[in-house]
Amino acid sequence: MKILLVEDDRSIAAPIVEGLLANGFDVVHVATGSEAYEQAEPDMVLLDLGLPDLDGRDVFRLMRARWRAPIIMLTARAEEFDRVLGLELGADDYVTKPFSFRELVARIRAVARRTGDSGGAGPAVNAPQVIGPLVIDRRARRVTLDGDEVALTAKEFDLLAFLASDLGAVRSRTEILESVWDSNWYGPTKTVDAHVAAIRKKLGTHDWIQAVRGVGFRMEPPA
């Protein structure tokens, strides 16, 4: 599993690189946003938001437009607003400094499990899931409908894949937030509704994801 670490503080970057290598990860470290954008697509990105040349959120947007790799934001901005904003932008996780290396590895592996990567534990075994005309490829993080690719954000993909993992099952908003966003999520549950609405629009109908009043959502192929 190749990880791109974008961190300008070498006193922070050095132990992270050393620890990740010791845990079996392949690591590339760069110190600026412009250097990051020049790299080949990795399997995962650890992105510091406080970069010397570009705003980390702008770098995030550029990466998200170009790559499908999951992105974990690293930042000293611990305020709830920044954390919620990062996740709403589509980050797969958000880690505030200072953090323990053990926590970082746990989050990397958790994101890898959610996004279909093995997290360094061998090849992923997820075959594309076919639901009528809809195909969800978790390994490639691609969704196609009637053969045409559906352009989803990272969080939209994770949400769709989560609901599709148990077709017909009702998932509560809290369960969705804990599984797709963060087990320590403290933001509004309405963020789930906003993402569901966006997915429905991109799939062309509300029928794929049905709301269960007072509970949450379930996914079923349209009749």
Tokens read off for 52: 């010397």
Give yes or no: residues 133 and 109 share one domain: no
Centroid of chain to Cα 122: 20
Give yes or no: residues 27 and 89 share one domain: yes
> Domain range holding 16?
2-115
Q: Average pLDDT over the chain, rounded to whole?
A: 83
pLDDT for position 199 = 95
2-6, 181-185, 205-209: segment of lowest average pLDDT: 181-185
Give yes or no: residues 182 and 157 share one domain: yes
Q: Identify the residue whose tokens are 């959502």.
A: 217
Give yes or no: residues 136 and 87 share one domain: no
Does residue 165 lie within any of the structural domains?
Answer: yes
Number of domains in the chain: 2
Give yes or no: residues 108 and 150 share one domain: no
Backbone dihedral region of 116: left (phi > 0), alpha (psi from -120 to 50 degrees) or beta?
A: left
Does residue 124 lie within any of the structural domains?
Answer: no
CA dihedral 140, 146, 151, 157 (to 10 degrees): -60
Does residue 121 lie within any of the structural domains?
Answer: no
Question: What CA–CA distances, in Å, run from 76 to 7, 37, 47, 49?
Answer: 12, 22, 12, 8
Burial string for 119-146 (b: 16+ CB within 10 Å, else e) reads: bbeeeeeeeeeeeeebbbbbeebbbebe
Domain boundary among the residues 89, 115, 141 is at 115
Share of the chain above pLDDT 90, in %: 34
Give yes or no: residues 89 and 6 share one domain: yes
pLDDT for position 65 = 84
Distance CA 10, CA 16 (A): 10
